[in-house]
């Protein structure tokens, strides 16, 4: 690269350095330019099946063989480029694209689309050596060599500049290549490490100055009067310890700082995409809930995401569907599984399992299924992770299974897929509540109080609706439009910031229904307990005050509409109604305690459940609300069988290891197996089927899929 080109790249990358110290309130201004569905982007009538492909592991002869196998399997998309920075830039400023040119040209000739993944992490060794600030420094102040992938300090200005230069060069090179269908950024960026260098501390201080403005405001937000920890100036600030003791207020801001750092990096790359390749969407394999660092996806995603995408490795259908629904948020575009379960670490695979999950994805509104990975790796950290091609370079039965998926999907894209769900129910999820509900220990008493994990509770609210085959959005209520929903469920939303409280208040006032559970609205946006009646900022909306809480020696039960329901939780709060009415009461307690209350506020209703949001707790009241609010319930199915109706047909997915029978009165046609049936649909283990009645009426009285207009129209 010429000197002029290098300087030009540095100028183009100033955005990254500027955003490094910006707060999310400023980053969210990028949402005014948020991704809007584009007429040229993948839309209705288009499904994609393929694989993630690492050609850096393959010889030219093997690459030709791989592409031939992909074409023979009916694959129409691959994701390439991730984890390969030093293959594109073997030394600083010395780009080598010719090898990739040949491969992408061959993919085009084979009719295979390409997602170009900008390989930000891991940084190459030359970058670590040239710019030591990219090295991770641990909490003890020791430099940590980049032994594992993602061991890069993404807040370092040199790293951010070089990533921007790489991204610009790759997008300019391939933006108009006919094979290219999308661009992705920084594979699994949320799974990186926090760093504790002196420079990181200074960047954190700059972030705090921007967020709080004065040391007095910071002292108040961090409650530094406690235990003699007042700060005389910003120079007194240390980086909070992620893996060690410390107040939760600082722990929350530490995660917000790294979240903002991550988000600004992604938003900067997406600004370049809008400038260089506006006709290409951003479809990135992100990992916002990664345990190491994570980031606040649902408050920010519209500034760098065109399609919600993730690595789909479900342990079970409910948790898999929950994760996929969360990554979609309220985007109008379908879900992309940029990595999809084929085998796994130490798991060769189970025949039929991947196909079953591919169809489960279709129910949720997915559009693409890309196996991880095409080749089983011979070396590196994932050499015992098993892909479609075995270590001896021969195709496994899994390639045939994905070919089966590709063949099926080619037919299904003419029958109303991908689906475009129109959820009537939203579930609240908050990065701040996730972080602050399990602060660093051991002295934080929140760990003793919040014993039911936050994500488990959100999933507990999701599970009954998913089992009822209902579409749901998972959103951050303070950063989303609530008007499309008839019901908003707020499970264990520990941190109740002002934006979320205002959104919920106005939604109920205008006629919406909100269902909130125990543990919600206990602390403010700084992680400090409210000094007002609980639920904080919303006590009048729910018409209650909640202070006392207790545990019982055995699981609780409660009575609703004359019926008794057994739960699996032992924790309960004691609501004190002011304007609220009691809907349900606990049984077998020494005092008469409301279990569920309801309050009229404005034109709407606010309900409060005085228990954690487990599946068994939520199911009865959700059943009642489904009827009361005239919510659309999906097709009725046995446990472990899931279904959605699309354009007069119903897709059934048996996720269980046993055969299942679904009563379907009358004569119907099974589209995938091309056979007529009567009265009963029999599904074997992991089997799927798309059925319709012989007279083409809807098989079930399910709402037809109304969202089949062209994206962008």
Tokens of 457: 């509770």
CB 376 within 8 A of CB 391: yes
Q: Which of 208-212, 242-246, 303-307, 400-404 bottoms out in mean pLDDT, i.e. has the lowest?
A: 242-246
624-654 CB burial, b ≥16 within 10 A, e <16: bbbeeeebbbbbebeebbbbbbbebbbbbbb
Once rounded to an integer, what is the mean pLDDT over residues 556-585?
98
In angstroms, the Cα distances linking 530 to 16, 460, 475, 546, 617 are 36, 26, 24, 12, 26
95-113 CB burial, b ≥16 within 10 A, e <16: beeeebeebbebbeebebb
Picking from 345, 348, 20, 365, the residue whose alpha carbon sits closest to that of residue 164 is 20
d(CA 309, CA 368): 9
Once rounded to an integer, what is the mean pLDDT over residues 311-337?
98
The SS3 assignment for 325 reads: helix
pLDDT in tens, 130-140: 999 999 999 99
Specify the pLDDT at position 695.
Answer: 60
For helices 353-364 and 397-412, what crossing angle results, to 10°?
30
d(CA 600, CA 607): 9
Confidence of residue 712 (pLDDT cuts 50, 70, 90): very low
- Long-range contacts formed by 499-504: CB under 8 A, 24+ apart: 500/428, 500/430, 500/476, 501/536, 501/537, 501/538, 502/478, 503/477, 503/478, 504/477, 504/538, 504/541
Annotate 275-289 with DSSP letters as a single string: HH-TTS-B-----TT
Length of the chain: 713
Picking from 115, 109, 153, the residue whose alpha carbon sits closest to that of residue 134 is 153
d(CA 390, CA 398): 10
In angstroms, the Cα distances linking 31 to 24, 304, 503, 621 are 11, 9, 18, 36
Confidence of residue 694 (pLDDT cuts 50, 70, 90): confident
Burial of 346 (0-12, 13-18, 19+ CB in 10 A): exposed
Once rounded to an integer, what is the mean pLDDT over residues 285-307?
97
CB 530 within 8 A of CB 539: no
Specify the pLDDT at position 16.
Answer: 39
CB 519 within 8 A of CB 546: no
Q: What is the average pLDDT score of the chain?
A: 92
What whole-number percentage of the chain has pLDDT above 70? 92
Q: Which of 8-12, 59-63, 601-605, 683-687 bottoms out in mean pLDDT, i.e. has the lowest?
A: 8-12
Tokens of 686: 């992991």
Strands 335-341 and 366-372: parallel
pLDDT in tens, 104-142: 999 999 999 999 999 999 999 999 999 999 999 999 999
pLDDT in tens, 220-250: 999 999 999 999 999 999 999 999 899 999 9
Is a pLDDT exceeding 80 seen at residue 14? no
Annotate 217-266 with DSSP letters as a single string: HHHHHHTTTTTT---SSGGG--PPPTTS---HHHHHHHHHHHHHHHHHHH
Q: What is the DSSP letter of 41?
A: S
Q: Tokens 């080749």 appear where?
A: 375
Tokens of 186: 């920084």
157-173 CB burial, b ≥16 within 10 A, e <16: bbbbbbbbbbbbbbbeb
Calculate the dihedral angle through the C-alpha atoms of 382, 387, 389, 391, rounding to the nearest 10 degrees. Answer: 30
Q: What is the DSSP letter of 583?
A: E
pLDDT in tens, 468-482: 999 999 999 999 999
CB 129 within 8 A of CB 194: no
Specify the pLDDT at position 693.
Answer: 82
Burial of 566 (0-12, 13-18, 19+ CB in 10 A): exposed
Burial of 286 (0-12, 13-18, 19+ CB in 10 A): buried
CB 54 within 8 A of CB 83: yes
d(CA 146, CA 298): 30
Specify the pLDDT at position 606.
Answer: 98
Is a pLDDT exceeding 50 seen at residue 23? no
pLDDT in tens, 346-355: 999 999 999 9
Specify the pLDDT at position 361.
Answer: 98
The pTM of the full predicted model, rounded to 2 decimals, is 0.93
Confidence of residue 36 (pLDDT cuts 50, 70, 90): low
**Radius of gyration of the chain from its Cα atoms, rounded to whole angstroms:** 26
Strand order in the sheet with 335-341: 180-185, 113-118, 77-80, 48-52, 366-372, 335-341, 309-312
Specify the pLDDT at position 39.
Answer: 87
CB 288 within 8 A of CB 295: yes
Tokens of 692: 């319709």
Once rounded to an integer, what is the mean pLDDT over residues 601-617?
98
Q: Which of 25-34, 155-164, 621-630, 644-653 bottoms out in mean pLDDT, i.e. has the lowest?
A: 25-34
Is a pLDDT exceeding 70 seen at residue 527? yes
Specify the pLDDT at position 441.
Answer: 86
Is a pLDDT exceeding 90 seen at residue 156? yes
- In a 13 Å sphere around the CA of 398, the CA atoms on its Cβ side amount to 27
In angstroms, the Cα distances linking 247 to 202, 225, 250, 300, 446 are 20, 12, 6, 26, 10
pLDDT in tens, 486-519: 999 999 999 999 999 999 999 999 999 999 999 9
d(CA 153, CA 123): 9
């Amino acid at each position: 690269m010429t000197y002029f080109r290098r300087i030009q790249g540095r100028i183009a990358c100033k955005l990254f350095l500027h955003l490094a110290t910006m707060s999310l309130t400023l980053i969210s201004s990028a949402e005014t330019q948020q991704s809007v569905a584009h007429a040229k982007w993948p839309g209705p009538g288009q499904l994609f099946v393929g694989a993630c492909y690492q050609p850096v592991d393959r010889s030219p002869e093997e690459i030709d063989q791989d592409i031939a196998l992909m074409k023979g399997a009916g694959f129409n998309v691959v994701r390439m480029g991730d984890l390969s920075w030093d293959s594109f830039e073997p030394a600083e400023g010395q780009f080598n694209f010719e090898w990739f040119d040949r491969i992408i040209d061959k993919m085009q000739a084979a009719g295979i689309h390409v997602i170009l993944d900008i390989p930000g992490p891991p940084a190459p060794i030359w970058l670590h050596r040239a710019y030591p600030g990219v090295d991770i420094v641990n909490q003890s102040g020791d430099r940590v060599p980049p032994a594992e992938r993602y061991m890069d300090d993404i807040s370092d200005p040199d790293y951010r500049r070089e990533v921007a230069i790489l991204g610009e060069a790759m997008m300019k090179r391939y933006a108009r290549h006919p094979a290219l269908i999308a661009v992705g950024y920084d594979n699994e960026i949320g799974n990186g490490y926090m760093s504790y260098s002196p420079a990181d501390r200074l960047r954190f201080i700059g972030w705090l100055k921007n967020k709080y403005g004065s040391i007095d405001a910071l002292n108040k937000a961090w409650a530094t009067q406690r235990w003699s920890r007042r700060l005389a100036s910003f120079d007194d600030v240390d980086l909070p310890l992620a893996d060690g003791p410390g107040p939760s207020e600082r722990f929350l801001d530490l995660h917000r700082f790294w979240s903002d750092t991550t988000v600004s990096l992604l938003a900067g790359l997406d600004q370049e995409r809008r400038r260089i390749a506006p006709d290409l969407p951003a479809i990135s394999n992100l990992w916002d809930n990664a345990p190491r660092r994570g980031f606040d996806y649902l408050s920010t995603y519209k500034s760098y995401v065109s399609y919600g995408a993730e690595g789909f490795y479900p342990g079970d259908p409910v948790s898999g569907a929950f994760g996929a629904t969360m990554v979609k948020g309220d985007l109008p575009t379908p879900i992309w599984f940029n990595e999809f379960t084929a085998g796994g670490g130490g798991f060769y695979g189970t025949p039929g399992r991947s196909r079953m999950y591919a169809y489960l994805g279709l129910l949720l509104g997915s559009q693409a299924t890309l196996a991880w990975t095409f080749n089983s790796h011979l070396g590196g950290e994932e050499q015992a992770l098993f892909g479609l091609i075995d270590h001896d370079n021969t195709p496994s039965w899994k390639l045939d299974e994905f070919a089966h998926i590709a063949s099926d999907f080619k037919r299904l894209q003419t029958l109303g897929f991908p689906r475009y769900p129109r959820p009537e129910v939203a579930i609240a999820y908050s990065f701040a509540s996730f972080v602050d509900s399990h602060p660093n220990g051991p002295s934080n008493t929140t760990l003793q109080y919040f014993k039911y994990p936050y994500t488990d509770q959100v999933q507990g609210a999701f599970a009954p609706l998913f089992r009822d085959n209902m579409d749901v959005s998972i959103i951050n209520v303070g950063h989303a439009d609530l008007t499309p929903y008839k019901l908003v469920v707020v499970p264990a939303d520990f941190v109740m910031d002002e934006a979320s409280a205002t959104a919920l208040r106005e939604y109920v006032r205008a006629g919406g229904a909100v269902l909130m559970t125990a543990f919600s609205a206990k602390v403010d946006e700084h992680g400090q307990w409210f000094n007002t009646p609980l639920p904080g900022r919303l006590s009048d909306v729910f018409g209650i005050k909640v202070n006392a809480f207790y545990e019982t020696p055995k699981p609780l039960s409660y009575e609703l509409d004359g019926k008794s329901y057994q739960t699996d939780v032992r924790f309960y709060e004691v609501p004190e109604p002011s304007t609220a009415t009691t809907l349900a009461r606990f049984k077998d307690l020494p005092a008469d305690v409301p279990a569920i209350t309801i309050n009229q506020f404005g034109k709407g209703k606010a309900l409060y459940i005085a228990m954690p949001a487990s599946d068994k707790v939520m199911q009865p009241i959700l059943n009642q609300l489904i009827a009361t609010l005239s919510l659309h319930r999906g097709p009725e199915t046995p446990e472990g069988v899931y279904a959605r109706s699309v354009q007069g047909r119903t897709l059934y997915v048996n996720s269980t290891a046993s055969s299942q029978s679904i009563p379907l009165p009358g004569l119907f046609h099974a589209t995938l197996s091309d056979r007529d049936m009567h009265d009963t649909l029999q599904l074997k283990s992991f089997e799927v089927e798309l059925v319709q009645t012989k007279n083409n009426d809807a098989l079930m009285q399910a709402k037809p899929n109304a969202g089949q207009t062209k994206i962008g129209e």
